[in-house]
A and B are shown apart, each in its own frame.
Chain A
């Protein structure tokens, strides 16, 4: 029981804010070419660079370059060694001991050892640390430095996903001495000092973060002497920068320019597959529009929306269709069917269920996901085609969206809207993470299941799958659950989003990671 709850907490705390896992600086090729400066333009301005306080993937990816965790995650979602070489679990499942890599130094010259591990994790768990995102790692009751090379974690309860959870950026190890060097304070780190391939050089808030190569890095050394992450919130400005060569890499160009960018011989478009699904979440216990409580009505809404046209015309190809209630990148996913666009069928189903011409309200965030608001507008248009009276889409800033819609009680949500656009990105690539969204015990406001969908059969299957150690039977169980979910249609299933990146043809070695980060550490001049 405890395991599952914590595993669920892990996803719940993180998935919605697009949080992923840490580490993962392993080189993908053996290209070794020297470069002076790599400029990367991103759209998000990190709130701060304290590893313990990271919530958004793009900021995490920057921190990951400077501070590493004990373990990392590979592109298939497997947990792999990083600062730890191996780990053991006690028979009672309540303690884990990590064997640490030796001879590594932090970029301030102090030695990496078990004391630093204890210090960093204690700091994460301390209520004194500003905005520490301990999340599921709250399961840790005690950290001990057994000797210089062994760190032991004692847990409050069993938690099989513990090692996977230790891949997160928040579990990165920082130099204990560095927190007392201004501007850092024990309460907040402004300039992270870790063991990473790059080290902090300079930050101008709102404009850029500069990192320089760690020439003493213990692993494969990176190619560029300096990497500058420029903060450029306007997508078109980022595009201008990469077109003119003032940036080597940008994330998220304006989606509508993707076709033209693909045809530009000086540029390369990388469509990094993400694990994020985008859906129009239906309030399945809606009191204002009780018709939405009917499965057939919700299915009708799925038939009413032309997903392929949206992917082509609104997403400009930056997405793939869904074949089930989760991304295909997740372990345990399986194809469950498709709701092919059929407006007549939708109309018939609505008619048959007394829902013809019903009125629904829609809301969507703006600028949170690729083309989110235009997609919501398109969905609203299709629902109108099916004869519904659609109010919206309305939009709202993200904090009030989360508190007022996603984390609201069913009644509060129904006061504001009937359908809301949401993206969900599992923290690690496992179906259990997606089922957070269909497990009734995680219904908002306790969890983040904002459709309030409840099917006891699905709940039972999820619980069975989550506690099943055998992959094959576990996946089968998940697949059965997914089929029921697909049929019950608590969402209008839209698509699996991609993360578009653009690089100039002068750069290679930029790789996408399925958890919506991308890796520039081993970028190399072409």
Chain B
């Protein structure tokens, strides 16, 4: 029992605890791809994400309203006519703003996960490969980061750093680190015992080369799964910060802050509350479904 049940909150989000590390490498990528294509919910997730990407690129080109231009006489229009989802409290096209917000939301998610990967992968690999006191140190660090439940660590960091795009990315990024450490460590542990790695070590190949050439590539499958699920979680947390008014600051369109600022309209214009939330839900759902599909495809032993 190397991993206590308290491990991997983030992977826990995926629903089946930690992803089994050291599973199929990229050698079986062809079969994995086939399995993924046959995976119904993964296909749905990809479709939704494609829809978002297309919307955020195409809609600003075809909707000829200025996203930041107010027109008070056009405020709170119902979804009809020239405005497919109606207009917001300042007469701005809701659909256009949602589409533009997708850029920021996806960017925050990707950037935060990138931070998580950049820090988590090397630390995890080192932890598993070297073992000993390095492992001990990194594992305790991971425990500490995992001890802050859910959104709390990001919230506390933003409280100290202040709101804004950069600080949200940093805060959510730090929250993503421990999940990646756990995963890479687990693969490193199993891989370092493999005969060819042991042979390499015996021949005096530099440790960093082994980590880079063998450990990290072999952890890729679970890491990809984790990264996908983590993207969903990052979006959920970043939008939560935006909802509280601690995230990306207006007038930059961002789903969480759009939802937070339209809270007062739930009785008068429900569209303004419904759609930003639906957008967040859709994105998180898509990443979760895709993550499920990837896990099933890359590691058929898991169900």
Contacts and interface: CB of A to CB of B under 8 A. Distances in A.
Q: Do chains A and B touch in the complex (CB under 8 A)?
A: yes
A234 interface: yes
B265 A380 contact: no
10 contacts: A236-B263, A254-B267, A256-B269, A260-B268, A314-B90, A366-B245, A373-B261, A374-B261, A382-B70, A394-B249
Interface stretch (A154-162, A305-313, A497-505): A305-313
A401 to B, nearest CB: 13
B264 interface: yes
B251 A236 contact: no
Interface size class of A (residues with CB under 8 A): 20 to 34
Given A310-B72, A374-B90, A256 B268 contact: yes
A14 interface: no
A26 to B, nearest CB: 35
Contact of A314 (B89, B251, B266): B89
Interface in B23-82: 66, 68-73, 75-76
Given A254-B268, A374-B261, 17 more contacts: A236-B263, A255-B264, A256-B76, A256-B264, A257-B264, A257-B268, A306-B72, A309-B72, A309-B73, A310-B72, A373-B261, A374-B89, A377-B251, A378-B90, A384-B66, A384-B68, A395-B250
Query: Secondary structure of the B side of the interface?
Result: loop
Contacts, number: 73
Given A306-B72, A374-B89, A381-B90, A260 B267 contact: yes
Contacts of A257: 264, 267-268
A81 interface: no
A239 B250 CA distance: 26
Given A373-B250, A380-B251, A313 B264 contact: no
B253 to A, nearest CB: 12
A398 to B, nearest CB: 11
A377 B261 CA distance: 12
A392 B264 contact: no
B69 A384 contact: yes
Nearest to A261: B267
Residue picked from A235, A313, A380, A384, most chain B C-beta under 10 Å: A313
B6 to A, nearest CB: 30
Contact of B70 (A260, A373, A381, A394): A381
In this complex, which of A260, A374, A385 has the most chain B Cβ atoms within 10 angstroms of its Cβ?
Answer: A374
A366 B250 CA distance: 10
Contacts of B68: 380-381, 384
Tell which of A234, A235, A377 has the most Cβ of chain B within 10 Å: A377
Interface string B254-277: 000000010111111100000000
A92 B118 CA distance: 75
Given A314-B89, A374-B90, A394-B249, A381 B71 contact: yes
Contacts of B90: 314, 374, 377-378, 381
A393 B251 contact: yes
Contacts of A310: 72
B93 to A, nearest CB: 13
Interface in A359-394: 366, 373-374, 377-378, 380-382, 384-385, 392-394
B73 to A, nearest CB: 7
Contacts of B72: 306, 309-310, 313-314, 378, 381
Contacts of A381: 68-72, 90
Contacts of A380: 68, 70, 251
A59 B245 CA distance: 24
Contacts of B89: 256, 314, 374
B75 A254 contact: no
A236 B266 contact: yes
A190 B162 CA distance: 32
Contacts of B69: 381, 384-385
